[in-house]
């Protein structure tokens, strides 16, 4: 058993070196950002009081593509409702135009706070998504 110790030590050193060589921490390109209504030219308030940051696919206009939602990042959205939303839903997609989207769940879409003036959400995964936010 004593003869295996150098092999285990070498393996441990290699594991540490490879981990450090992969960009350090898991959240290398994260950002904390405030998203203003002016940053969302295709947002819309429906007659039913539901606000949407982006339209559903199909989307032909590039300015209406869903918002880049970087991994390990926090986004603060201006709340256009003027009151605390009762519902905050995030749709995530791997595609800018929102195709093959799903309701954000788990740590890919975390609602941190919702107030009369701001809604704060977080992507706690180390994965880039594209986001569509819906408030009611």
Q: pLDDT for 55-109, tens place per residue?
A: 999 998 999 999 999 999 999 999 999 999 999 999 999 999 999 999 999 999 9
Residue 104's Cβ-count burial label (10 Å; 0-12, 13-18, 19+) is buried
C-beta separation of 127 from 29 below 8 A: no
Q: What pLDDT is recorded for position 25?
A: 57
User: Distance between CA 83 and CA 136 in Å, rounded?
Assistant: 9
- Nearest residue to 104 via CA among 94, 118, 119: 94
Q: What pLDDT is recorded for position 27?
A: 75
Higher pLDDT, 114 or 29: 114
Q: Evaluate if residue 29 carries a pLDDT over 50.
A: yes
Q: Evaluate if residue 42 carries a pLDDT over 70.
A: yes
| 16: confidence class by pLDDT, cuts 50, 70, 90 | very low
Higher pLDDT, 19 or 97: 97
- Express as a percent the part of the chain with pLDDT over 90: 76
Q: What pLDDT is recorded for position 30?
A: 86
Least confidently predicted of 15-29, 49-63, 122-136: 15-29
C-beta separation of 76 from 67 below 8 A: no
In CATH terms, the fold of domain 28-135 is Immunoglobulin-like (2.60.40)
Average pLDDT estimate for 16-35: 64
Average pLDDT estimate for 2-27: 50
User: Distance between CA 4 and CA 16 in Å, rounded?
Assistant: 19
């Amino acid at each position: 058993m004593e003869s295996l110790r150098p092999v285990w030590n070498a393996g441990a050193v290699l594991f540490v070196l490879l981990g450090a060589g992969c960009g350090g921490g898991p959240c290398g390109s994260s950002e904390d950002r405030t998203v203003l209504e002016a940053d969302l030219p295709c947002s819309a308030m429906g007659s039913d009081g539901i606000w949407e940051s982006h339209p559903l696919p199909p989307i032909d206009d590039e300015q209406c593509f869903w918002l880049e939602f970087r991994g390990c990042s926090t986004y603060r959205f201006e709340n256009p409702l003027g009151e605390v939303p009762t519902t905050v839903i995030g749709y995530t997609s791997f595609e800018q135009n929102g195709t093959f989207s799903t309701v954000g769940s788990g740590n890919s879409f975390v609602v941190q706070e919702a107030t009369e003036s701001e809604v704060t959400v977080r992507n706690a995964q180390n994965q880039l998504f594209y986001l569509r936010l819906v408030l009611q």
